[in-house]
Amino acid sequence: QYGGQTPLKLARALEAAGVPIIGTSPDAIDRAEDRERFQAAVERLGLLQPQNATVTAMEQAVEKSREIGFPLVVRPSYVLGGRAMEIVYDEQDLRRYFNEAVSVSNESPVLLDRFLDDATEVDIDAICDGERVVIGGIMEHIEQAGVHSGDSACSLPAYTLSQEIQDKMREQVEKLAFELGVRGLMNTQFAVKDNEVYLIEVNPRAARTVPFVSKATGAPLAKIAARVMAGQSL
């Protein structure tokens, strides 16, 4: 959970080799990381997502883009830290992206998401022990949604979000943590537009925001989560 995206990719193989994995199970990790399985969970919970599709070929992407509409956020599935993520504004742009930025196949699909113009992006770090969820902090990004969080400043506490919107996001994070079977840290990203909360993604691990939240709130999230992963309750 503390090594970013790479260990999540290794989890299944390590489990198959008999290595005990503490914290969130490899199957639960896959449910959060695999777009189709994740979407099934989101639909079951009745949460809102920007229109999206998973594609394995350029022509399929062009076809789906006509259904979803531009602008689109495009990125490879199971990707580390926003690499090869772009916002494309028309079909020509989309074709250029597929020709230059990624190699797409059944093994490495590409995700298309409707880009929500002028939306506010929000990051939430939480810890779940299977019984309870503790939210470390709700961070509001200064830049609009779609700017990679590594390039975006954020504020804790959130400075423009109403209490109602924050409560709605808290509720969704709890539901997601229990539905996905998270044990330990989890990072959830939302976009807020016209008072609607859209779920962007869930990372069943420590995100780059954890040290910031810990420093700003004085709560040692990494230490608490490690104890939860080792079997203690919150």
- Buried/exposed code over 222-234 (b: 16+ C-beta within 10 A; e: otherwise): bebbbebbeeeee
Instruction: From 114, 129, 164, give the residue that closes a domain.
Output: 114
Residues 140 and 33 grouped into a single domain: yes
Q: Band of the pLDDT at 4, cuts 50, 70, 90?
A: confident
Distance, in Å, from the CA atom of 229 to the CA atom of 212, rounded to the nearest integer, reads 21
Residues 30 and 136 grouped into a single domain: yes
Residues 164 and 81 grouped into a single domain: no
Instruction: Output the domain CATH number for residue 41.
Output: 3.30.470.20
Task: Print the domain residue range for 176.
Answer: 5-48+117-229
Q: Could you tell me the pTM of the whole model?
A: 0.85
pLDDT tens for residues 19-59? 999 999 999 988 988 878 898 999 999 999 998 888 888 88
Residues 124 and 85 grouped into a single domain: no
Residues 27 and 60 grouped into a single domain: no
**Cα dihedral 205, 97, 153, 144 sign:** negative
| pLDDT given for residue 78 in this prediction | 61
| pLDDT given for residue 105 in this prediction | 61
